[in-house]
Amino acid sequence: MLEVTDLDVHYGSTRILWNVSLRVAPGEIAAIMGPNGSGKSTILKAIVGLVKASGGTVTLDGATLLGVPTHQMLARRVGLIMERRCLFPAMTVMENVRMGAFHPAAAAGFDENLAWVRQLFPVIDQKAGVAAGQLSGGQQQMVAIARGLMGAPRYLMMDEPFLGLSPKIVDQIAEVMAAVKARGIAVVFNEQNAHLSFSLADRGYLLESGRIVIEGSGMGMLENEKIRQVYLGVEAARAGDGHVG
């Protein structure tokens, strides 16, 4: 179990996160949904050590992750797929994918993982020798996820995995997330779209101004009255229907 408890983060003198708590178990998907600037990405970065927590705890199976350098997270089988892919643009697709297994912790399952991600993402074979910078945004996102999975994570953080993608690619990434979950890997992702977030999630969290204000099951979040009114526009849609002659 990955557990975040009462997490606080400051950027300088500005407080970004306030007593954030969440958890995810192996084989679960947890969605952190909230408006732009609410602190969603900061949670993921704090978990993997890219930003320093100023309070609270982050534990994995009871062992603390706070203070563990980011480059050692793969040894604990925690991975992060960064927002906007962050591929090596001059390197080929296959070189980028193989880079995901640079850590010795991933070496033992290299062949099996490579076969799996090639099955998940046909673009790896189709564009194997093409420079990653020449791919479309959707193709780059697939390569970035494949690279992340090559590290053999048990817990995978995905920062804005659907950002800027076409509906078709969004559906494909959602299918991949389901396949990752079926393999027993936990996924924590953030997103601004409430329906997309919580329809995929076992656990859902609504973040506003750095605070978790609502949490529950994915279905429970979709049925929450505030989320339905503010983020899904249910009441507005009904009102609009009433004006149709």
* pLDDT tens-place string over residues 161-182: 999 899 999 999 999 999 999 9
Q: What is the Cα–Cα distance from 34 to 40, expressed in whole angstroms? A: 7
Q: How many residues does the chain have?
A: 245
Q: What was the pLDDT predicted at 244?
A: 32
Q: Which residue intervals of the chain bear CATH 3.40.50.300?
A: 2-77+153-242
Structure tokens at 217: 């099951």
User: Where does the pLDDT of residue 15 fall: very low under 50, low under 70, confident under 90, or very high at 90 and above?
Assistant: very high
Burial class of residue 241 (count of CB atoms within 10 Å of its CB; 0-12, 13-18, 19+): exposed
User: Where does the pLDDT of residue 236 fall: very low under 50, low under 70, confident under 90, or very high at 90 and above?
Assistant: very low
- The sign of the dihedral angle between the CA atoms of 84, 85, 86, 88 is negative
Q: What was the pLDDT predicted at 234?
A: 76
Helix (H) or strand (E) holding 156, with range, is strand 155-158
Residue listed under structure tokens 């002659």: 245
Q: What is the Cα–Cα distance from 130 to 168, expressed in whole angstroms? A: 22
Q: Is the whole model's pTM more than 0.85, yes or no? A: yes
Q: What is the Cα–Cα distance from 96 to 75, expressed in whole angstroms? A: 19
Helix and strand element counts for the chain (H, E):
11, 10
CATH level 3 topology of 2-77+153-242: Rossmann fold (3.40.50)
User: Where does the pLDDT of residue 235 fall: very low under 50, low under 70, confident under 90, or very high at 90 and above?
Assistant: low
HSE-up of 204 (CA within 13 Å, CB side)? 25
Sheet holding 63-64, edge to edge: 14-24, 2-11, 55-60, 63-64
Q: What was the pLDDT predicted at 107?
A: 83
